[in-house]
Amino acid sequence: MSRGGREKLNEEPERRCIVTGDVQPKAGLVRFVLGPDGTIFPDLAEKLPGRGIWVTAERAVIDKAAAKGLFARAARAPVKLPENLADLVEEGLAHRVVELISLSRKTGGAVVGFEKVKGWLAEGRARVLFQASDGSDRGKGKLWTPEGGRWFGCLTSSELGLAFGRDRAIHGALAAGGLTPRVIREAARLAGMRKQDGGKPAMKDSKTA
């Protein structure tokens, strides 16, 4: 089991968090790299050259790494840290989630709006349900997590709306396949960064899709 209680897949690469010391799948971590000028910055796509420094995708853990000088220790060199490092990670992940949902929509793999989402859920077509964090709890409570799927409440109505070409949106759903596994991966990391209410993640269901 990983730190979050999720079952680990043998074929999924693992890395050690420099703060917690836990070894877990890369999907629950953020990779940081040291730039040519000695600045630490997030490599969310995990494609940049250089030795990766891995930190659990939680704001408090990233803040601790920065405050305790753990990036410098891991890099074995002096480093420069942006004051808003955790904000950069959160904003970057939100952008990635919005872009991936938008691409899914363009290929017919996502729908928006209460009635369309409800229809997909009833037909068993939905694998992921997104509901805006600032939406009405009463309205959101009328829908349900897809069986064997995931629920995410880590996007605001403006962010979810942007993914669907609207000013705002409260409900969105993704079908299985296509970009959905990537959406789940990035949304799970974003949910970790946006934990609320004393550290409880804004998620109804922790099942994998």
Alpha carbons 110 and 127: distance in angstroms, whole number: 10
Classify domain 14-83 at the CATH topology level. Hypothetical Cytosolic Protein; Chain: A; (3.30.1230)
Backbone angles phi, psi at 60, to 5 degrees: -65, -35
Give the model's pLDDT for residue 195: 86
Residues 66-90, mean pLDDT to the nearest whole number? 96
Average pLDDT, the chain: 90
Residue 203 has pLDDT above 80, yes or no: no
Give the model's pLDDT for residue 204: 46
pLDDT digits (tens, 9 = 90+) for 41-53: 999 999 999 999 9
For the chain, what are the domain ranges? 14-83, 88-193
Classify domain 88-193 at the CATH topology level. 60s Ribosomal Protein L30; Chain: A; (3.30.1330)
- Structure token digits, residue 63: 């803040």
198 or 68: whose pLDDT is higher? 68
Residue 30 has pLDDT above 60, yes or no: yes
Alpha carbons 87 and 29: distance in angstroms, whole number: 15
